[in-house]
Structure 1
Amino acid sequence: MDSFSFECVRIVFGCGSLERLSDEVKMLKGRRVAVVTDRALRETGEKVCEILNRSGLNCELWSGVTAEPEIDVVKEFVSQFDFDTVVGVGGGSTLDVAKLAAVTGKDGDPERLVGRDVSGRKAKLILVPTTAGTGSEVTKLAVFKIPGREVKYVFDSPSLYADVAIVDPVLTVSAPPEVTASSGIDAICHAIEAYTSRYASPISDVLAEKAIKTGSNALREAFANGDNLKARTGMSYAALLAGIAFNNAGTGLGHALGYAHSHIHNLPHGASVGVTMPYVLQYNAISDLKKHARIARLLGSNVRHTRDAAFQAGLEFANLLRDLNMPLKLSDLGAGEEDVSDIVERIFLSEKHVSRNPRTVRKEDMFELVRKAVYGLLSAENN
């Protein structure tokens, strides 16, 4: 067995676990708490402040996070509050803002961290996800739009780890079906890409397999009935496991391609990665037939022959997209032949993702893959 390392933050998981927030802040010796969220979750943010205020903690709320945020959002937040603890409550964008704010500290300039080593953290950090998808609560990554850059910038540093992640599935119940679908697909893509990554380990494999199986079942159920707390809990669990897995093993071509075409349609991140994942799975299948056959079976395939099952993985993922009423090809999103070359070029801007992919990513192959994704040309025959 090859050597490997593995990292994970402290986790508090379960329905009702939000009520433990005050105890966690006090354990960290936090006194001045800034809760950050978005406008749609302001009421949830107010509830969080109530929990903290009941325990005698000083809490201020900021609900200015925007979807797919630019880095200026962090500067706007840290300029308004005097804090020693940041609590992020929301989806991946909000949690990423909280991470960078805790590193930057009051009146800091996050743009100065672009292209530099992100070391040290000025404030304590607690992350509370309200969607089951990004896994940001357990990763050392934060993703932002940076003016002048073609693709999103990924901050990657141990300083971005939370002191504790509080995962309360009850907070995901209010997510509408389309948010449930997109965030859930993001989680399953994280698990699949971590599982097939060149940097996968025995531990990340176990977590990824569980996330794929649990997530694909729970996601359909949560999409069909958002009040199904058992399904919501299963999806929160799957997203958590997937986050831990890809934090250690990384993601690959699926995310590079998702970023590469996102400027055309501006879909939520999970939907952007998901629409092209069936084609990525069929491209990667020959790199590891056993793992891709396993993915197909975890997604519901009963094909027994390993090679046949491996190529079935893309079709099974497409079935999941269909069940969630999500797009299956890029032409449905406005992309055409004229966009192929640009998308291919943008894939290679995500160098780390490309380097982790299990099959070597060759430019000439990408033209064929992207055309298949544009026109919906999934191979039904395993050839």
Structure 2
Amino acid sequence: MYVTHKEDAVKEFKVVPIIRQYEESKSFCEDFAIGRGDLVITSESTYYNYFENQMEGALVIFRGNYQKGEPSDEMVEKIYEDVKDYTYRRVFAIGGGSVLDVAKLFALRTITPVVDLFEKKIDIKKTKKLILVPTTCGTGSEVTNISILELKSRHTKMGLAVDELYADYAVLIPELLNNLPFSFFATSSIDALIHAVESYMSPKASLMTEIYSIKAINIILKGYQIIAKNGPEARKDILTDFLIASTYAGIAFGNAGCAAVHAMSYPLGSTYHVPHGEANYAIFTGVYYMYQKLQPVGKIEELNKILSNLLECSTDTVYEKLEELLNHIIQKKSLREYGMKKCEIADFTNIVMTEQGRLMANNYTELSERCVTDIYEKLY
């Protein structure tokens, strides 16, 4: 553990899971001897493409059988009903961020009611080994202690962040990204980029988290430049780089946290079912223009210099040039293009200010209710 004292604040840095990398799924299955007494949560396509006949005796749950779109408390409750009578000692999650976030909860002694769990009305105790294997290059969930769900009754997304949700092993297998469609690659990798940027700007950032943030930003933006020049198929030669960058970003934000971009994207994602990374991109530069306006002297100058060097532009045009590059990956849309109504700006602002304090505490500079409303209005 790394501890630094700066301005009377203690900043800790830790990486809890053991991180392993395998070139192929077969070696992973042999090493971990997956079988009886194991619960596996994955997607049907991932299982039949890579793991069929390699998990004899394990209880395999297909996430898609329970709910489409972003995971929710209702989805977790349904899975719980199907596995509650099965005795298991290890949980394996093989999938994107939604699979990993859901699976983390099944390593706990008490899972339901899920809303009570997220509101910490239940004693949280980890009783199972947890092994997380990402099949996208974005969430970094394999190395964080956070599970994010849509809480249907609360009409928003909410994060549960406790040390009991850390994995015992985070396993990187680049082979599992080979069949990842470009749209999923795009939304997940932009999410990783925003994790890296927000954690770099967080007041909880330390010298150690900054190293991981900067490395992730470099890898992702250089990869995007290759894709912008050579087309979407060019990503296939650099998938390992993106997988590692996602984990770096996960380590950074797992320690320093994310902030307003994520907080403001959650109501959009949960209300209009916008993919998480895309919802973040819709909000991303709007927040940073506001930061620049409110506090132009400070760490944002360092960020702008890093980005301007990578994008080969002046610091004055860095966000315009960043959007030009990101639009090769996902075309940015106005909020109204997702179906959002102007009258919902006040509702979304209220949700952010009253329910996303955990994230808003990590902002580069304080954003008032008026600032949040202004950002939504400019992006609308």
TM-score class normalised by the smaller sequence? 0.7 to 0.9
Which amino acid is 1:369 matched to?
I
* 2:123 paired with 1:115: no
In structure 2, what is the equivalent of residue 4 of structure 1? 11
Cα distance between partner residues in 2 of 1:166 and 1:240? 10
In structure 1, what is the equivalent of residue 372 of structure 2? 366
Cα distance between partner residues in 2 of 1:361 and 1:115? 25
Larger displacement relative to structure 2 (10-19 or 356-365): 10-19
Deviation of 1:244 (Å): 0.5
Cα–Cα, structure 1 residues 338 and 73, in superposed 2: closer, same or farther, change >3 Å? Answer: closer
Cα–Cα, structure 1 residues 25 and 164, in superposed 2: closer, same or farther, change >3 Å? Answer: farther
Deviation of 1:109 (Å): 5.0
Cα distance between partner residues in 2 of 1:19 and 1:213? 30
Cα–Cα, structure 1 residues 176 and 144, in superposed 2: closer, same or farther, change >3 Å? Answer: same
In structure 1, what is the equivalent of residue 53 of structure 2? 50
Which amino acid is 1:10 matched to?
I
Deviation of 1:155 (Å): 1.1
In structure 2, what is the equivalent of residue 74 of structure 1? 76
Cα distance between partner residues in 2 of 1:226 and 1:369? 35
Cα distance between partner residues in 1 of 2:313 and 2:133? 37
In structure 2, what is the equivalent of residue 265 of structure 1? 272
Cα–Cα, structure 1 residues 110 and 123, in superposed 2: closer, same or farther, change >3 Å? Answer: farther
In structure 1, what is the equivalent of residue 307 of structure 2? 296
* Pairs within 5 Å for 1:163-202: 163-202=168-207
Return the match for 2:241 from 214, 224, 234: 234
Cα–Cα, structure 1 residues 115 and 33, in superposed 2: closer, same or farther, change >3 Å? Answer: same
* Cα deviation code 1:86-115 (max 9, x no counterpart): 11010011011110011147x865444232
Cα–Cα, structure 1 residues 298 and 109, in superposed 2: closer, same or farther, change >3 Å? Answer: farther
Which amino acid is 1:115 matched to?
E
Give the 3-state SS of the residue equivalent to 1:5 in structure 2: strand
User: Is the CA contact (8 Å cut-off) linking 2:201 and 2:300 kept in structure 1?
Assistant: no
Return the match for 1:87 from 84, 92, 99: 92
* Pairs within 5 Å for 1:201-240: 201-219=206-224, 221=226, 224-226=231-233, 228-240=235-247
Deviation of 1:204 (Å): 0.6
Cα distance between partner residues in 2 of 1:233 and 1:372? 37
Deviation of 1:258 (Å): 0.7
Highest RCO, 1 vs 2 (Cα 8 Å, sep ≥ 6):
2
Which amino acid is 1:62 matched to?
I
Larger displacement relative to structure 2 (260-269 or 351-360): 260-269
* Cα deviation code 1:141-198 (max 9, x no counterpart): 0011223113212111111111101111211121111111101110000000000011
Cα distance between partner residues in 2 of 1:341 and 1:87? 41
Deviation of 1:32 (Å): 1.1
In structure 1, what is the equivalent of residue 258 of structure 2? 251
The share of aligned pairs that are identical, in percent, is: 25
Deviation of 1:262 (Å): 2.4
In structure 2, what is the equivalent of residue 275 of structure 1? 282
In structure 2, what is the equivalent of residue 334 of structure 1? 339
Give the 3-state SS of the residue equivalent to 1:51 in structure 2: coil
Deviation of 1:216 (Å): 1.8
Deviation of 1:367 (Å): 2.4
Larger displacement relative to structure 2 (139-148 or 293-302): 293-302
Cα–Cα, structure 1 residues 144 and 336, in superposed 2: closer, same or farther, change >3 Å? Answer: closer
Cα distance between partner residues in 2 of 1:21 and 1:132? 21
Give the 3-state SS of the residue equivalent to 1:12 in structure 2: strand
Cα distance between partner residues in 2 of 1:14 and 1:85? 20
Give the 3-state SS of the residue equivalent to 1:257 in structure 2: helix
Structure 2 length-normalised TM: 0.86
* 2:350 paired with 1:345: yes
Structure 2 unaligned spans of 5+: none
User: Is the CA contact (8 Å cut-off) linking 2:156 and 2:271 kept in structure 1?
Assistant: no
Deviation of 1:219 (Å): 4.2
Query: What's the C-alpha RMSD, in Å, of the aligned pairs?
Result: 2.4
